[in-house]
Amino acid sequence: MEDFPIGSGQVGTGLGGSTTRWRAVALLSRTRSPSNLRHSYRIQSSPSRTTRYSAGMPFRASTPVLAAISLVLAACAPSRPPDRYGFLALLGRDTVSLESVTRTGNALVSDEVDRFPRVRRRHTRITLNADGSIRHLEMDIRTSSEPPPERERHVVADVTKDSVTISKRDSTGVRRIALATGGVLTMAHLPQMYSLTDLYFGAALKRAAANHVAAGDPVMLHQFYIDREFDRFPLHDGVVRPLPGGNADLRHDWLSGTGEATFDSSRHMLTYSGARTTYKVEVKRLTSPPDSQAIERIGERYAALETSNGGAAQLSVRDTTRANVGNATFTVDYGRPLARGRVLVGDVIPYDQVWRTGANAATQFSTSVPITLGGIRLPAGKYTLWTVPHAKGVDLIVNKQTGQWGTGYNDKFDLGKVPMSTGTPESPVEKFTISIISTDAHHGMLVMEWGTFRWTAPIVAA
């Protein structure tokens, strides 16, 4: 007979306050036939007293003894190794965020760097509830481009069924926020930290499954924010829709458009696409992510590059074109996105949809005197310019509304819509460019160029 120890420990205290020490040992009694292998166990509560139990014997033990066996067997069960994964987010060919995550049960540790547009390095610890929702979050954030007192920030968030409390600390002090959730599933949101997007979807899809939500029906969420530029905002609303084929989509108050994601059978996000939003990123899950030291080195390089370029800048910078045609003075204020190796017309700029003709805020156009633009008569004043590309050709829209965001197009303010001439620039244009070219004292040309397209409309000044 051979002894195979299972484990040892303490199960409780006796009436006198002394601790009963125990050792559980499995005994295997082997006969000639393996089919006659007989098991017995003994519970040894002291070196001098051992009780044996064989298979088939009535087993009567005190509650402490039963608890001891349960603890021993649980301790001997194979533990699941930590799950390591990450996310890479690309805007065209440019990396905007990279993340490495280690998950052990309901605990996550993440190291991440993003530049959207400021370079931020983050170390995050998250504890989840059984339903996948966030119970506790701590994040350390370093932002080299912010003023020195604000460069390091420590954020702590605790979420209950009815509330979320958040503290945000830097060397200037502590900002504390308490928000009522009304019992709605509440998750954290950061524009380019996709482990949080993964959790956002995962908790919503788990709730959808528990509540038997049909494909295409919404799961409502609240979301709270981490970064400084969002400090003034309360909870915002979000909607996740489970879709057939391991897909789901997302809309929320901060996202203009609909984000689309794919998942494996365990509801792990495999890909995310912002093609139908203003954040036109493409995200994929990494099964072999870089380690935390590599993430740190990449973050250092991004921060150094940001410093050498004069600090943080918008991903799509704002610019102003000024020009004269005869006695007419023109200004065009617009966002200048980069091509970044992407397919532009028909992809970044969808066919048959109104485009803001730039990035971020709507493109503003002003003229000091009455003109015609592409045949549309414009009194002196301010307008916004919009375009609608098609598989063949493109239309120019002049709208009387001004000052709005690029998603705020309202056709009831249209002055007119006319076709533009199309062509190709001499060489591909990386940064979207609007120019006004004077051809004589009364005539000129509005020119839009990006990538391999060149769109023009004639100007006639009074």
Angle at 274 between CA 338 and CA 310, to 5 degrees: 35
How many angstroms separate the CA atoms of 433 and 319, rounded? 9
How many angstroms separate the CA atoms of 71 and 10, rounded? 10
How many angstroms separate the CA atoms of 243 and 246, rounded? 7
Q: Which helix H or strand E contains 270, and what residues bound it? A: strand 269-273
What's the pLDDT at 254? 81
What's the pLDDT at 75? 52
CA distances from 42 to 4, 49, 76, 210 (A): 11, 10, 17, 43
What's the pLDDT at 52? 42
Residue 146, helix vs strand vs coil: coil
Tens digit of pLDDT at every position of the chain (462 positions) = 322 222 333 223 232 333 333 333 333 333 333 333 333 333 333 333 444 433 344 444 455 555 555 555 555 555 678 999 999 999 998 899 999 999 999 999 999 999 988 999 999 999 999 999 999 999 999 999 999 999 999 999 999 999 999 999 999 999 999 999 999 999 999 989 999 999 999 999 999 999 999 999 999 999 999 998 888 888 999 999 999 999 999 999 888 889 999 999 999 999 999 998 888 899 999 999 999 999 999 999 999 988 888 776 666 778 899 999 999 999 999 999 989 888 999 989 999 999 999 988 999 999 999 999 999 999 999 999 999 999 999 999 999 999 998 988 999 999 999 999 999 999 999 999 999 999 999 999 999 999 999 999 999 997
What's the pLDDT at 90? 94
How many angstroms separate the CA atoms of 242 and 240, rounded? 7
CA distances from 397 to 5, 157, 256, 363, 387 (A): 81, 46, 21, 11, 6
Written as six digits, the tokens of 11 are 């199960």
Peptide bond into 350 cis (omega under 30): no
Q: Which residues, including other chains, have CB under 8 Å from residue 254's CB and lie 6 or more apart?
A: 189, 191, 223, 236
Residue 424, helix vs strand vs coil: coil
What's the pLDDT at 39? 37
DSSP 427: S
What's the pLDDT at 13? 29
Specify whether the CB–CB gap between 363 and 357 falls below 8 A.
yes
* Phi and psi angles of residue 222, each rounded to the nearest 5 degrees, phi first: -110, 160
How many angstroms separate the CA atoms of 139 and 211, rounded? 32
Residue 203, helix vs strand vs coil: helix
Q: Which helix H or strand E contains 297, and what residues bound it? A: helix 292-308
CB-based burial, 115-132: b 16+ in 10 Å, e otherwise: bbebbbbbbbebebeeeb
What's the pLDDT at 256? 82
